[in-house]
Structure 1
């Protein structure tokens, strides 16, 4: 078992935040590869999950820029947890559309981002949906893409929670 002090130090390292940022960027690049090289149209749920992934990536970038600044680093941790948790919820909803299709419960065909964050207008090459949420056009090892994303977002959320807990335990130990 890794000692809390080592996890605490790692949570404040540029390596940890760089790994999160670059790993998230790689996942987004893979999504774009599926879209443009394999001609798989992203649905609105795919686009929303990409937005959650970008949220994780931005939180990672903030932590990478200032891993030792407690305010920014803790803010980055909370942003990471929030974006990964939203990704879990979106992936679960997407899986429901895929495995329990219903004419009464369908996803929309247009993205509904807030006006102040109109990602589909600002960057349509990444955030414009054109596919069907119920379509399972790809699977690997018996899991569809949103099932893989559910696992990825769950691991990301668990890691964020682990780092938060490690920091809380370290703070309590310092005060004792």
Structure 2
């Protein structure tokens, strides 16, 4: 699996657009998103195993609820599974929790991106619940993977993004607005 310090793989995937445009039907609902889309921004890329399941929509909706906070931090959120864009669209139409989704749903049907990242479950052949924070230079700065049956915490992803963007030493459970560690001050107090 690719991890911190690795370059996020180049990709080009069809996606269901965010917002009401995503519900316009097959002729207008889709767009291409690739490595250069949203260039210069932080990217939160999270994967779920399958559409029309139970844990997945809870996570997708939770990431979408925070999309404005991610945008305030100059970050975009991409949700990805190996289902097709047509399945994504149908799922949005029929699931109240994600119908008005404010983030795009990318279709990695050939498993090229999830395979390059090394996050495919060995038995099920679907993506694990992997999340990546990618800096504006395309370098992975944080990676987290859960098994297929355990949802993740998007609020924690936001907290980690805040910490990464300080470019400082952030202690355990650090939150935005709290003090960061200053080693020179710690050493001077000890002397």
**Scaled by the length of structure 2, what TM-score is found?**
0.22
Q: Which has the larger strand fraction?
A: 2
Q: Which has the higher helix share?
A: 1
TM-score by length of 1: 0.23
